[in-house]
Chains A and B, each alone.
Chain A
Amino acid sequence: MRIVIRAVLIITLLNASAMASDSPKLPQEIINLGLRFIDNPADFLFDLHSNMEDSVPVPAYRNAQVRFNFFPTFIPFTWAGLNLKVKVLNERRYIPQIDIQGQYGQNIGVAVAAAMMSRDSSSTSTVKPTLYDYTVGLILTKRVDQSNRLFIGPKFSYVNLNFKPSEPLDFGGGLKISDLNVAASEIFIFGGLEHQISKDRFVVSQMAYGVRYNKLMARITASSPHVEVGMNIYPEGVIVIHPFLAWHWYF
């Protein structure tokens, strides 16, 4: 069971121990990335979580949308999440379209490790590992011409990682983890432009600003009826650009 936890942590935390070690085989830039991650692990987890959020408005002729981010969260970090958006008000002349956004995700690898820990009678740890995240938001959208809509809104994001092994895990290079408890939240104001190419095909550009910790992020998306590709940009992140691949379904 400890092997599973170790494996999941290594994948989920981007093999931070290897990055931080003084192995001569690792380039200095990679070591710096690892050190930046260890300096603020919540920030990197938050960036991964943000990949799973989707604050693009529901198309005017649809009622809801579900989105699943495949890369870089489910693969390679086994972090699975669904983002649901529901249109609650159609746009009228002086009233914007209003959508409610909700997202929930959980790391499957960590959940499996927790389940195995429950079955392992030799485990003395009282804290089961968890890694989950959620977002709630509101999207206000106004059409500005035939193919373009501007949207803005607020959202609340939260990530939680809790892990306490019965014995400290030694990752080598002098790095031992005895307790990892990360809880990060932020309130974002986001805004962007949706440009419609054809039915269910869009190019969307957006940016979000965290009002509590001044966190910035931007996203450019090209979407077809079921597939989204694009990149997320986290200017102060451990990894600045996250290319992504996601699926969505309209209702």
Chain B
Amino acid sequence: MYKIYQICLLLCLSSFFTTIYSEVKFAPYYNLQITEGVSIPSRGGWFFDLHLANDIGMIAKLNNAHSLIGFYQIKYSGPGVKRQEGEQFTNRTMDHMVVFRHHWDTPWNFRLKSQIDYWKQLRRSGTNELWGYGLYDINRFGGLLGVQKKFGEVALSGNFQYHSMIFPNYTDLLAELRVTEGGTAESSAGKQDHALTQLGLSGEWKMLKGSVDITLQNYFRQKVITNIVQPDGSFYSGALQSDTIVTIASAVDLASGIFATSPGVKYGMRASNQNYLHFDDVTSTAPAKISPYHSDYYSFSQLSLSLPLYLSVAKAWELFLILDHEIKSYSSRPARDGNGNFLKEKQQNALQIITCGFNYMPNPVTTTTLYLANQTSSSNMKYEKYLPYNFTAFSFGVRFSYRY
């Protein structure tokens, strides 16, 4: 009886999948983007930039209600002027990402999205390291659940995401040594591992769009540092590090004749319970004697403004000018002078990027871009022994994109 049931079930399933598969419509998704340029920063010598990204995927429309999207992305970011604070120009990364997404246009007039994804990032600080051994290599695995619904001219969507971020090579031997006499060293392996839980809401009305994202970053092993020696000889308390990131963004798409623009504003805020204990030197095992402890060291707010302007000058030619401005203000982190001494004023960074150039689009699938960019990064952080904070950089190059 059980075998008959199994055979019937198999027949039903095969009939179901055959019916679905016979109606499936496939469409490819392919994108190759290459950027080759030169950057001339005010600090250090000039260097070649290279960025390479390749997406290959497939969209399968199972029927009117269900579609599946799967794609693989490989991305290489070579040496370049970094936008983000705390990165060397020589840093390079290689990313692999696999995404499977399902869309269901429900009978109740809303779309349900579900996704699982895996992302692996390999990092190198220079050419003399091997890929796969970077201290901050990342493995991310997780997924997303989302819903989209239209209310007349208003489209609203909400997403819930969960990802675990694992740093397989991370360790900090110096931190392990920094225990007081009689204490026991705790391994720093796994201390960067954390979970990202994100709730996002976004909406569109005519040309206006906006979004709010709340992200919780909960570390699995990284404990909050204190200024009091703990029973195990370390300075780590029992509480785990936990950060909350809130991002609010808005933009409007405007177009008139040959002119188009999409000004945007974004406000971000990070609240972290992590503190900072300063050691005079990387090899010091005892905290500095002068102002060693700084609470709320990693919390900040950030305001970003963007004004891209596009001008279609011919059928296949488009001129562009993009202005980006960003201000990052730390809540409590003091700035430092050139010798590394802490100052009373709080650290504040400003970033301004002006990019201009033209796009050449001879057909719907290829775009060639020639660009010129000027980046100005300034900060009251003057201690730049390890990382650049104050510099200007001029970049130019060509970008080729093939997208189908």
A→B interface (CB under 8 Å): 36, 144-145, 148, 150, 152, 191-193, 195, 203, 205, 207, 209, 213-214, 216, 218, 220, 233, 235-236, 240-241
Contacts and interface: CB of A to CB of B under 8 A. Distances in A.
A218 B94 CA distance: 14
A192 B56 contact: yes
Band of interface residues on B: 20 to 34
B52 A235 contact: yes
Contact of A150 (B50, B58, B132, B402): B58
Given A193-B56, A235-B52, A235-B78, A218 B127 contact: no
B283 to A, nearest CB: 30
Given A218-B52, A235-B78, A240-B50, A36 B127 contact: yes
B contact patch SS:
strand
Nearest to A193: B30
Given A193-B56, A214-B131, A220-B32, 10 more contacts: A150-B28, A191-B54, A192-B56, A193-B30, A195-B365, A214-B132, A216-B52, A216-B74, A218-B32, A235-B76
B26 interface: yes
Contact of A220 (B27, B94, B131, B400): B400
Contacts of A209: 74, 96
Nearest to B96: A209
B52 A233 contact: yes
Contacts of A145: 27-28
Contact of B27 (A144, A192, A240): A144
Contacts of B92: 236
Contacts of B74: 207, 209, 216
29 contacts: A36-B127, A144-B27, A148-B28, A150-B56, A150-B58, A191-B56, A191-B72, A192-B30, A192-B56, A193-B28, A193-B32, A193-B56, A193-B404, A203-B402, A205-B32, A207-B32, A207-B52, A213-B131, A214-B94, A216-B74, A218-B32, A220-B32, A220-B34, A233-B34, A233-B50, A233-B52, A235-B50, A236-B78, A236-B92
A235 B93 CA distance: 11
Interface of B: 26-28, 30, 32, 34, 36, 48, 50, 52, 54, 56, 58, 72, 74, 76, 78, 92, 94, 96, 122, 127, 131-132, 365, 400, 402, 404
Contacts of A218: 32, 34, 52, 54
A205 B402 contact: yes
The 7 tightest CB contacts between A and B, nearest first, are A214-B131, A144-B28, A207-B54, A193-B30, A205-B32, A235-B76, A191-B56
Contacts of A144: 26-28, 58
B56 A148 contact: no
Nearest to B21: A94
Contacts of A233: 34, 50, 52
Contacts of A150: 28, 30, 56, 58
Contacts of B76: 216, 235
A241 B78 CA distance: 14
B127 to A, nearest CB: 7
A150 B122 CA distance: 27
A145 B25 CA distance: 10
Given A36-B127, A191-B56, A240-B48, A205 B30 contact: yes
A contact patch SS:
strand
Contacts of B78: 235-236
B36 A240 contact: yes
A150 B76 CA distance: 21
Contact of B122 (A152, A191, A195, A214): A214
Contacts of B48: 240
Nearest to B122: A214
Contacts of A36: 127
Contacts of B72: 191
Contacts of A148: 28, 404
Contacts of A203: 402
A175 B380 CA distance: 48
Contacts of B365: 195
A205 B365 CA distance: 12
A193 B31 CA distance: 9
B113 to A, nearest CB: 23
Nearest to B365: A195
A203 B32 CA distance: 13
A216 B32 CA distance: 13
A209 B48 CA distance: 22
Contacts of B26: 144
Contacts of A207: 32, 52, 54, 56, 74
A66 to B, nearest CB: 26
Contact of B127 (A192, A195, A236, A241): A236
Contacts of A192: 30, 56
B31 to A, nearest CB: 9
A89 to B, nearest CB: 19
Nearest to A216: B76
